[in-house]
Amino acid sequence: MHHSGAVGPYRINLIAKIGAERVEALENNNNPHRYTREELERIRARYRALLRELIKSRSEAA
């Protein structure tokens, strides 16, 4: 209905955008990753810092 099933055209455009090798790698990597607590904390810290920078740059621009 709302192009939710348009997998074919999406895949074709994705290949044009990032290349066939990367699409194949994405499609074939089905192993789940179990994050450690330390990894999750690093991810959280990174994105909190990025959010702070974004908020700061927006307030400076206004």
Q: Tell me the domain boundaries of the chain.
A: 1-31, 34-62
Question: Distance (Å, rounded) from C-alpha 62 to C-alpha 59?
Answer: 5
Total-model pTM:
0.54
pLDDT for the residue numbered 15:
96
**Residue-level pLDDT at 19:** 96
Residues of the chain with pLDDT under 50: none
Using DSSP, state whether 46 is helix, strand or coil. helix
